[in-house]
């Protein structure tokens, strides 16, 4: 089995989660970690089992032994980090959202294709066995044609606890933090979008703190979606078709089961995930390096970016 050397840009919470997940990824080796300071990089590398630590992102990108760069920096830095990693000849798995616009995401994908390298958005929701099962149930016609999707990710956040989420210069806001999850669920379960509208509530720091989306899909299905920081709601998704429904009633962003409802009867499929759940996207990404197709495509990344960039209020 081929071994892939992973290098991490960023040492925050999500980087720690991904580092732990690599224990469940065959052929993955934690090689190098980079932060903006030597001390932070060394502390992270020691705690998470990386062999090398770098006090700058450029230093890690110059390491010839790094095969894959995982970008886990603030949202506003993703585009430049991706392009720098690609320019250094590295394959890139970038945390969601890949960039803050569809045009920037397209530019990154174009650069990857030109360089003959793999680039993928690390949208873990798309890769869970339960979500893949939900997609398969719908595509096999178990509920007839999809007609209506609801998906919500509204979770209380406070500026004093999560200042980055409320900082517009770092790509904060409910859409960039949480909105991609319901939007992605709608795309995965009901397909491409023909028309959309959005409504935002902007908070005192200038970021959107609540957002709602209405999507009309190309197949005629309608999606009603919401995300936000100002309340707690079940993180749930439901797709209703002509003859039944598929739903994940809690934590659809990292699900371990999916429910099929037809003719008044329920069937629950239990599909546990590996470790903390991040391993699935890493496994798929390494498979992509061997020519396999990703469960989350360039077109879907760009579509989500365009939908999240909506500014109507």
pLDDT number for residue 311: 56
Average pLDDT, the chain: 96
Tell which residue, 30, 94, 36, has the closest CA to residue 66.
30
pLDDT number for residue 309: 84
Q: What is the CA radius of gyration of the chain?
A: 19
Q: CA-to-CA distance for 56 and 38, rounded, in angstroms?
A: 8
Give the tens place of pLDDT for each residue, 167-215.
Answer: 999 989 999 999 999 999 999 999 999 999 999 999 999 999 999 999 9
CB 21 within 8 A of CB 277: yes
pLDDT number for residue 67: 98
DSSP per position, 219-277: TS-EEEEEEESSS-----EEEEESSEEEEE-S-TTS-SEEEEEETTEEEEEE-PPSTTT
Question: For the CA atoms of 285, 290, 293, 296, what is the dihedral angle to 10 degrees?
Answer: 10
Give the tens place of pLDDT for each residue, 46-62.
Answer: 999 999 999 999 999 99
> What does the pLDDT average to over 66-95?
97
Give the tens place of pLDDT for each residue, 293-303.
Answer: 999 999 999 99
Angle of helix 102-115 versus helix 298-308 axis, rounded to 10: 160
pLDDT band at 161 (very low <50, low <70, confident <90, very high): very high
- pTM here is 0.94
Q: Which domains does the chain possess?
A: 4-122 (3.40.50.720), 129-272 (3.30.360.10)
> What does the pLDDT average to over 118-143?
97
Tell which residue, 23, 5, 119, 22, has the closest CA to residue 60.
5
pLDDT of residue 226 exceeding 50: yes
Residues that are catalytic: 96
pLDDT of residue 134 exceeding 90: yes
pLDDT number for residue 313: 38
120 burial via Cβ count (<10 Å: 0-12, 13-18, 19+) = buried
pLDDT number for residue 1: 80
Q: What tokens appear for 173 in the block?
A: 């806001």
Give the full edge-to-edge strand order of the sheet including 52-54.
52-54, 28-34, 4-9, 68-71, 91-95, 119-122
pLDDT number for residue 310: 73
């Amino acid at each position: 089995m081929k071994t892939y050397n992973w290098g991490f840009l960023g040492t925050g919470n999500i980087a720690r989660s991904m580092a732990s997940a690599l224990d469940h990824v065959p052929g993955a080796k934690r090689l190098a970690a980079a932060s903006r300071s030597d001390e932070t990089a060394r502390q992270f590398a020691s705690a998470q089992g990386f062999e090398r630590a770098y006090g700058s992102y450029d230093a890690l990108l110059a390491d010839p032994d790094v095969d894959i760069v995982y970008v886990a920096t603030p949202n506003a830095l993703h585009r430049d980090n991706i392009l720098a990693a690609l320019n250094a000849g590295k394959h890139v798995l970038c945390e969601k959202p890949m960039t803050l616009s569809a045009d920037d995401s397209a530019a990154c994908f174009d650069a990857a294709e030109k360089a003959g390298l793999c680039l993928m958005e690390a949208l873990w929701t798309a890769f869970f066995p339960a979500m893949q099962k939900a997609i398969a149930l719908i595509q096999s016609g178990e509920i007839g044609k999809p007609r209506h999707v609801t998906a919500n990710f509204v979770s209380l956040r406070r500026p004093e606890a999560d200042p980055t989420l409320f900082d517009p210069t770092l790509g904060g806001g409910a859409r960039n933090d949480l909105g991609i999850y319901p939007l992605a669920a709608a795309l995965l379960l009901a397909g491409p979008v023909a028309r959309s509208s959005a409504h935002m509530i902007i908070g005192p720091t200038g970021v959107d703190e609540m957002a709602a989306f209405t999507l009309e899909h190309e197949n005629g299905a309608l999606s009603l979606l919401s995300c936000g920081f100002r309340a707690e709601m079940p993180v749930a998704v439901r797709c209703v078709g002509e003859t039944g429904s598929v739903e994940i009633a809690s934590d659809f962003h990292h699900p371990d089961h999916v429910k099929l409802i037809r003719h008044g009867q329920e069937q629950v499929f239990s599909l546990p995930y590996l470790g903390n759940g991040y391993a699935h996207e890493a496994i798929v990404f390494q498979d992509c390096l061997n020519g396999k197709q990703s469960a989350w495509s360039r077109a879907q990344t760009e579509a989500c970016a365009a939908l999240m960039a909506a500014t109507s209020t």
